[in-house]
Structure 1
Amino acid sequence: MSMFNSAMTPAAIALNRFGLGARPDDAVPGDAKSWLLAQFKRYEPLPAPWQAQPRTPVVWNALVAQQREVRTAAASEKQAAQQAFRRESRDDYLAAVGARAASALATPAPFVERLVHFWANHFAVSVDKVAVLGLAGAFEADAIRPNVLGRFEDLLLAGVRHPAMLLYLDQAASIGPQSPQALRVAERQPARRRGLNENLAREIMELHTVGVRSGYTQADVTEFARALTGWSVAGLGGAEAHADGETPFQFRPMLHEPGARTVLGRSYGEPGEQQARAILHALATAPATAQHIAAKLARHFVADEPPPPLVEKLAAAFTRSGGDLPTVYRTLVDAPEAWQPQPAKFKSPWEWSVSSLRALGRHDVPALQAANLLNQLGQPVWKPGSPAGYDDIAATWAAPDALVRRVEVAQRLAAQAGDAVDARSLAPRILPGSLTQATATAVARSESPAGALALLLVSPEFLRR
């Protein structure tokens, strides 16, 4: 143990930087890299907490039915129907938050579970839009979790086609200006205007694929948005929803803008839905996308200012493999830059909360408690407030007032644990080989078990990874 500077051992790096934090009952990995890579086989796309949640088609059809009740309610009953809709959506949201937390606490594959959280934030939806409130959990369960160990293109397509994304970015309301539907409306109701919406096209290019510095233009965004017209969800506007076993995605030809599109210098003349799919394929496999994804992964796992050589390694693996994500993850695990002993990353509120509960040996947490905890710490689940998702850099999360809130939460968690957890014996198990002399001494001298535990949870070693 050093007196001042914390240095992480390979085991601590595997458990805390790549994983979600050590549990007191975890065996310390002897071969850290092998332990991480073996998790690809142990990962469960839908573990028990998620299996208890309804799948996307069921959630969507229930939302369609609720919206129909609101729409058809008498004027005197409309407000009550709207309140019931919000209440049921809120219940779905809280149940999904509980499933997410329980999954993170009990997973046998914490490295892959962290990757789920990374990609859910990369393809961010936000529940501050009421239509997304009941769908955000299903988005993570059905678009992200099954594809986290697949190809990036499949993950991208699953995210873009999910009703949570289509509603969040207003794609379901986008109509081609020269589409059959637009021409029909213009003829019958000249004063009514519904047109092209560029939100989804812009965010796919700026955030999900090539990145803002890749050189695309506003014209590229507009052309891509035209290609995406018709990508919608069954059951909107009073139409019948699909059966519960079917995906809610629906291509609506009457909304699609006819004609070829030119995006990033290439022409796409494919018919209907295939036009946007062809553009998505080109974006998913573009060199700029490889660079963008590589930089985000390196920033998340290694440093707020990621080492350029690491970014290049990850981008090369992405390109060489055609966007095979496990190949990229293996390259990350093999990279010396990822194993530097200095804990360069400051935990976000979600990361710190999960690692704290794991350190206390918790396997689940009441859904409302989990939601309230993250609200207090400033990172409500699935509510980043923008399509860019939450930042994962220290400047966003390490402000003095934010640290005060963590101290308050740590004290509350420690009080709940009571005398059942001995911080002195716990510390070396959750920070194997990485506990500083200063923290060990402070924990040992604490006047109460709860005080010692709270101090451990907000120690410099535990706040970083």
Structure 2
Amino acid sequence: MPPSPGNIPGGGRALPSASPCRRPSIRRPSMSRRRRASGCRGITTGAAGGFPATGAGAERAAAMTLAYAQAKSLTPAQAKSLTPSQAKSLTPAQAMIRFGLGGRPDQAPPADPRGWLLGQLDGPDPALATPSFAGLPSGAAALAALRDDRMTRKRLARQGLSLKDHFKPRVPEMFRADAAAQLGWALRTDAPFRERLVWFWANHFTVSMRQGGTAALIGPFLREAIRPHVTGRFTDMVLAVERHPAMLLYLGNAGSVGPDSRAGVRRHRGLNENLGRECMELHTVSLRAGYSQQDVIAMAKLLTGWSVDPRAEPTGFRFHPFAHEPGPQTLMGRSFPPGEAGGIAALRFLSTYHTTWTALATKLVRHFVADQPPPEAVAHVAGVLAGTQGDLRAASAALVDLPQAWIPGRKIKTPVEYFVSVGRALGETEAKVPAALGMLRRLGQPLWAAPLPNGWSDLGGDWSGPDAVLARIDFAYTMAGHSHDRAPAAIATAALGAQLRPDTLAAVSTAGSPREALALLFASPEFLRR
């Protein structure tokens, strides 16, 4: 029997596959579509007209008006104006801010910035060994919880019983625990560069809780498919990602059946092209490879039968031969055999194809260096990837050695980066869930909820409209109201180091209250940028 919505072999009832994400066959998303995916609200008029002195009072209105006036100036620092000694003093701060997640009061700027960054790439992911991560469920356990919640809902509905009175779902609790662990680790980690890489690759291989019932699976997805491979081989990450239940459910592959397979002939179920398409367009070769719709179909057929099973520890992946399309498939001019081995071979081929290196290098440089990636920087990182056959540690080290990466203030922080950097500046070590999730929603980037498979935008223009800036200032004022023992000027110095501008320090030092001072700090151009 095929892995249909109501029948997953070995798993009892109930893990419906996602409905197809109907993106155009192999078209790059339009600019308007990418802007919708950024999460930003549109530009509005009159945003600089001040804040009404109601609700939180005149102090809040005055502080937020000052902060908005300051934040409107998002001009990046100009590297040409720096003397050699100034550039040298900026380097430790740039390591913490450009490559990391911002300074903390209990973490001194690194004396050897390059060595500090490269040292974070050694060894296994440190988060996985911490108590906050160690007790979290596997992908298979999350699948079981998802199945049990759905079965319980159906049973109570048949009995006419109230869900509110008789049902406490497990999935929301699992999601909150995963979110608390992920955000808490970002707030306190001593390896923020490595954590930034985790977030980067999680966005590259987007799984969103908006589709496919994946809320309980995204945490296991990060722990099982992303974190172990951040400094390993790209091919190994691709194989882990494309076989993880989170991705299989998100893109509907858990129910994808080969038309000529035993299950397809018997049940008249069909092919879902989503995973094959996104694997090629977004995850590996990109549109640069010039592949055709027939290549997408061939890849989708190679991935038929790749499904999920709550009994398949640890991740929950299961290959079902009876749902797999028989016969070889021709993909981009190469023939691949049927069976699970054929799909694996195809993924190895795509993940080491020459356009994959350029696509990955472009995204890495755009994320860490500039919205318009310098061609020479892209060529260098792509060359490292090609020369090492996808060694992600080597590629990450190549980013650190790019001269362009040390020019301050060229990137606007995304909302989640801003959220974490504010928390780190204040010395926070735990994320209070669900309050933190609400804050991220208001900032425009709800956790693990990208609108489309191409993930969240990495372009500053998508995060710097007046509404987006106002949301950050409102968040800054809220966070500045938390009780803190340290002087605002000391917080500013620890957070920004040599990137703290004299006029920002003066504004912080002469503000009317500590809360106003911190709101001004968090709305300063150098804090909004990295």
| 1:211 and 2:286 are equivalent in the alignment | yes
1:220 maps to what in 2? 295
1:267 maps to what in 2? 335
Contact 1:304 / 1:393 at 8 angstroms: preserved in 2? Answer: yes
Shift of the alpha carbon at 1:45? Answer: 4.4
Residue from 466, 476, 498 that aligns with 1:400? 466
Shift of the alpha carbon at 1:79? Answer: 7.4
Q: Which runs of 5+ in 1 are unaligned?
A: 186-192, 235-240
Shift of the alpha carbon at 1:72? Answer: 5.1
CA spacing shift, 1:133–1:247, aligned 2, 3 Å = closer
Alpha-carbon distance in structure 2 between the residues aligned to 1:386 and 1:204: 14
Shift of the alpha carbon at 1:68? Answer: 3.3
Alpha-carbon distance in structure 2 between the residues aligned to 1:293 and 1:130: 26
CA spacing shift, 1:126–1:77, aligned 2, 3 Å = farther
Alpha-carbon distance in structure 1 between the residues aligned to 2:405 and 2:463: 22
Residue from 123, 132, 142 that aligns with 1:59? 142
SS in 2 for 1:40: coil
Alpha-carbon distance in structure 1 between the residues aligned to 2:342 and 2:417: 39
Q: Deviations over 1:50-83 (max 9, x none)?
A: 2232222222222223333345556244873999
SS in 2 for 1:96: helix
Q: Deviations over 1:423-461 (max 9, x none)?
A: 112222221111112211211221001110111011000
1:423 maps to what in 2? 488
SS in 1 for 2:498: coil
CA spacing shift, 1:143–1:343, aligned 2, 3 Å = same
SS in 2 for 1:58: helix
1:233 maps to what in 2? 308
CA spacing shift, 1:24–1:438, aligned 2, 3 Å = same
Residue from 231, 237, 241 that aligns with 1:149? 231
| 1:288 and 2:355 are equivalent in the alignment | yes
1:50 maps to what in 2? 133
Shift of the alpha carbon at 1:177? Answer: 0.6
Greater Cα offset, 163-172 or 61-70: 61-70
Amino acid at match of 1:178: D
- TM-score w.r.t. the length of structure 2 is 0.80
Aligned length: 444
CA spacing shift, 1:80–1:49, aligned 2, 3 Å = same
Residue from 119, 126, 132 that aligns with 1:38? 119
Contact 1:421 / 1:449 at 8 angstroms: preserved in 2? Answer: no
Contact 1:12 / 1:434 at 8 angstroms: preserved in 2? Answer: yes
Contact 1:422 / 1:453 at 8 angstroms: preserved in 2? Answer: no
Q: Which runs of 5+ in 2 are unaligned?
A: 1-74, 80-86
| 1:299 and 2:371 are equivalent in the alignment | no
Shift of the alpha carbon at 1:417? Answer: 2.9
SS in 2 for 1:175: coil
SS in 1 for 2:307: strand
CA spacing shift, 1:71–1:176, aligned 2, 3 Å = farther
Q: Which structure 2 residues correspond to residues 76-155 of structure 1 after superposition, within 5 A?
A: 76-77=159-160, 80=163, 84=167, 87-129=169-211, 131-155=213-237
Task: Please report the RMSD computed on the Cα atoms of aligned residues, expressed in angstroms.
Answer: 1.9
Residue from 430, 438, 443 that aligns with 1:377? 443
2:429 maps to what in 1? 363
Amino acid at match of 1:132: T
Shift of the alpha carbon at 1:403? Answer: 0.7
Amino acid at match of 1:133: A
CA spacing shift, 1:69–1:33, aligned 2, 3 Å = same
1:196 maps to what in 2? 271
SS in 2 for 1:262: strand
1:188 maps to what in 2? none
Alpha-carbon distance in structure 2 between the residues aligned to 1:74 and 1:458: 50
Alpha-carbon distance in structure 1 between the residues aligned to 2:211 and 2:276: 19
2:67 maps to what in 1? none
SS in 2 for 1:250: strand
CA spacing shift, 1:375–1:282, aligned 2, 3 Å = same
Amino acid at match of 1:291: T
Shift of the alpha carbon at 1:13? Answer: 1.1
Contact 2:183 / 2:420 at 8 angstroms: preserved in 1? Answer: yes
Shift of the alpha carbon at 1:343? Answer: 1.0
